[in-house]
Structure 1
Amino acid sequence: MIGIGVKDVFSRLINAYFQSRLGFSKEETILLRNEYFRSYGLIMEGLVSNYQVDPLEFNSMVDDALPFDSLIKPNPELRQLREEIDKGKFRLWLFSNAHITHVKRVVPLLGVEDLFEGAIYCDYSKEPLVCKPQSAMFETAMRVAGPKRCSDCYLIGECQVPLYTSRH
């Protein structure tokens, strides 16, 4: 299961980036992080839009710096849940706001990499940055995964903000 501490370590790394690379105070950092997550669904998108932050640099200093090997363990319950899904009726795809490096690191640690047909992710190397909840991200997912109608898709995520557009 996801180890206790991932969120805390991630939060510290984001705060360090805001403060050391952009010169924000602790208070400004907290306010901007919350505002960007609410407004954009992805903190990095707020940084790219407002401060021209290089997404790949941010990713290398924050997400890629996370010590996932010591924080994430296989999740047998998640694996069992996925294995019980009727593959004749449903196709499973990963749909992430993270960059591909995150997906490639985390999914094997959870022990579920063989249960998905592929991954749809936010490509930090492309401009403009396209992520959830932007309609373009959901259009990409539909094109890649191939369902005929939005009503044929079921999205399960860890938070509601990035999935908001998916209902529209």
Structure 2
Amino acid sequence: MIEVKRVLDIDHPVEEVLVYLSDFSHAESWDPGTITCEKLSPGPVATGTEWHNVSEFRGRRTELRYTLALRSPDQLTFVGRNKTATSTDDMHFERHQGGTRLTYRAHLQFHGIARLAAPLLKREFERLGDQVAERLPAALDRGLGPSSRPT
């Protein structure tokens, strides 16, 4: 299994960040690997909502069906699956200096023979984690508007 963790300080209130990130279709704006992410479930986003995600990694496209597995006032957990892998995006939110401290963990569990590639891919997933850490705050600023936090 591969695990990547990043801690980000965001200049927006927890409630706004949580609402924005609970719609996984916004991954198109902050996840460098996501090409498209389409909400499949009708109605408002809630536990059990599903998305069809198309990503590209190392020049290959892969499709996963993501489900919002957990939504609470301080946590979101998305689980994506296909034949090759299970991907879990876990986000913890806490109030921090008038904004939000976001702890983002991505877990990738390969299935079958693909498990053999996991140790070789760790470095590339760390690089993707760095890109998420760069892109996510800017995506939140675009999606939520300028920070309402005093500077």
Query: TM-score range with shorter-chain normalisation?
Result: under 0.3
By relative contact order (CA 8 Å, sep 6+), the higher-ranking structure is: 2
Q: TM-score, normalised by structure 2?
A: 0.28
Bigger strand fraction: 2
Bigger helix fraction: 1
Q: TM-score, normalised by structure 1?
A: 0.26
